Homo-oligomer: A and B are copies of this chain.
């Protein structure tokens, strides 16, 4: 349902009360407000977020990535059904995919790909926003997490495609980062950006079925050795590697076990809360930088100057620092 249609917008209080009582319709409409670029929608959205913030945070936030074809939708369906049925949890599934506006091949665009999960009353699937910069999408995703947590969802799954910069953003908003892989000659990794493997708290090698089990197990031990070469994370957690077949619903409880072990490990040592505070700090600095950046780059009088200066810096005629100083003078005048 769109906003700004014939429906009168509910009040801030109606929104907050509705979300806190678990009203999905109001949750969805509030998220649409968050994603809206209209100033009055943004103002209302911020009020709703403020009201929900004190009721948020009590969840496990899981990032999940992997190249197209790795079976993310099938995995999320199997994983989601498992934790709802057997772990008595509730689940909200979000996505950070700034490219989806262009490709239209959006991962969560089509809810029918997660049929059983999308019909489960303890699951909430939010389709990918259809446009926006990474900065904007990252912000709205973080705010959506707040609303989903306030609505009572205690597991948040944030999906992204392992091909761009969005992984870093997702990594900075989750407690646990899961990388889905396929067994094979290493070529399948070409789609995964450098640096993503080092973010993973666990790697699950999917499609370990139909005669592919041996290759999957070999890949598992290869990745284990490779991860062993990486330095340990701050909390001392050593990334785990496992195999699964989401399609045949095999190895899924084991993935949850890893998440659970990770949460216990980091909560015991205080790293869980510490990371959340660091993330809050990070996003405050990011938001400040974004706002400053926007003020600067939206300054119409600077646009042509900016192009000329960039050209000069690229051609080695001007140092980047001198260019920045000159532009700054123009900006603050």
Q: Which of B186, B190, B290, B322 contacts A324 (CB 8 A)?
A: B290
Q: Are A225 and B228 in contact (CB under 8 A)?
A: no
User: For chain A residues 198-255, which have a beta carbon within 8 Å of chain B?
Assistant: 198, 222-223, 225-226, 228-233
Interface status of A61 (Cβ within 8 A of chain B): no
Q: Does more than half of chain A's interface fall in helix, strand or loop, or is it mixed?
A: helix
A277 / chain B contacts, CB cutoff of 8 Å:
314
Interface status of A318 (Cβ within 8 A of chain B): yes
Interface status of A114 (Cβ within 8 A of chain B): no
Tell whether A186 pairs with B229 under 8 Å between CB atoms, given A198-B198, A287-B324, A320-B286. Answer: yes
In order of increasing CB-CB distance, the 8 nearest A-B pairs are: A287-B324, A283-B320, A284-B320, A292-B292, A226-B226, A291-B328, A287-B320, A288-B324
Interface status of A65 (Cβ within 8 A of chain B): no
- 23 CB contacts below 8 A, A to B, read A46-B322, A50-B319, A57-B316, A142-B320, A146-B319, A186-B228, A189-B231, A191-B231, A194-B233, A195-B195, A197-B229, A226-B229, A280-B314, A283-B320, A284-B324, A287-B323, A287-B324, A288-B324, A288-B327, A291-B324, A291-B325, A291-B328, A292-B296
Q: Are B198 and A319 in contact (CB under 8 A)?
A: no
A146 / chain B contacts, CB cutoff of 8 Å:
319
A324 / chain B contacts, CB cutoff of 8 Å:
284, 287-288, 290-291
User: For chain A residues 47-82, which have a beta carbon within 8 Å of chain B?
Assistant: 49-50, 53-54, 56-57
Give min CB distance, A2 to chain B, whole Å: 23
Q: Which of B56, B193, B229, B320 contacts A189 (CB 8 A)?
A: B229
Interface status of A40 (Cβ within 8 A of chain B): no
Give min CB distance, A12 to chain B, whole Å: 14
User: For chain A residues 303-333, which have a beta carbon within 8 Å of chain B?
Assistant: 309-310, 313-314, 316-325, 327-328, 332
- Which residue of A54, A192, A197, A277 has the most chain B CB atoms within 10 A of its CB atom? A197
What is the bound-complex CA distance between A62 and B26, given in angstroms? 56
What is the bound-complex CA distance between A232 and B193, given in angstroms? 9
Interface status of A293 (Cβ within 8 A of chain B): yes
Interface status of A131 (Cβ within 8 A of chain B): no
Tell whether A284 pairs with B296 under 8 Å between CB atoms, given A49-B322, A190-B232, A316-B56. Answer: no
A327 / chain B contacts, CB cutoff of 8 Å:
288
Mark each residue of chain A from 258 to 288: 1 if its CB lies under 8 Å from any CB of chain B, else 0.
Answer: 0000000000000000000100110110111
A280 / chain B contacts, CB cutoff of 8 Å:
313-314, 316, 320
Look across to chain B and name the residue whose beta carbon is closest to the beta carbon of A296: B292
Look across to chain B and name the residue whose beta carbon is closest to the beta carbon of A277: B314
Interface status of A9 (Cβ within 8 A of chain B): no
Interface status of A295 (Cβ within 8 A of chain B): yes
Q: Which of B143, B281, B318, B332 contacts A295 (CB 8 A)?
A: B332
- Which residue of A53, A314, A316, A321 has the most chain B CB atoms within 10 A of its CB atom? A321
Interface status of A116 (Cβ within 8 A of chain B): no
